[in-house]
Structure 1
């Protein structure tokens, strides 16, 4: 076991949580998190934030909001097209 230290654990935390580090590094980071309350707390926070963002991305906008946004986009597009067409 090689304790990777706080700097390395924090630097590689996001990759570790996404399983994007090699087994050896993952093992080192996992061992470090087991023994370091500060880094473990940071890992818990990162996981909590990631899960909250994932949940938010799964929610759907209300139909009236979607329609309002689409109407606004159409309006902007029409205004833009009218401003680039030369007057005759």
Structure 2
């Protein structure tokens, strides 16, 4: 394995994190991240952001809020027509 360098690691970080690359490239980037604190920090930020967004997308609004939004949408639609 060879260290791919910061430019390659950062360019391919998203594909690496989603496991969308061949084993050789994945290993090269893993090795780089293990030895480069700056790129490892960027990978941690990207991973954390992805996890937070994923959790947020799974949350649902409280029933009362959804009812209020729907009532407001109906009122706006009625006013337009």
Common fold, TM-score beyond 0.5?
A: yes
Give secondary structure in 1 for the equivalent of 2:54: helix
RMSD, aligned CA? 1.2
The alignment covers a number of residue pairs equal to 81
Question: TM-score by structure 1 length?
Answer: 0.83
Q: Deviations over 1:40-71 (max 9, x none)?
A: 01111111111111111122111111011111
Pairwise CA distance, 1:13: 0.6
Structure 2 residue ranges without an equivalent (≥5): none
Question: TM-score by structure 2 length?
Answer: 0.89
CA distance in 1, matches of 2:54, 2:39: 22
Partner in structure 2 of residue 4 of structure 1:
4
1:36 aligns with 2:42: no
Partner in structure 2 of residue 66 of structure 1:
66
CA distance in 2, matches of 1:15, 1:75: 45
CA distance in 1, matches of 2:48, 2:25: 22
1:20 aligns with 2:25: no
Which segments of structure 1 move beyond 6 Å, counting only runs of 4 or more? none
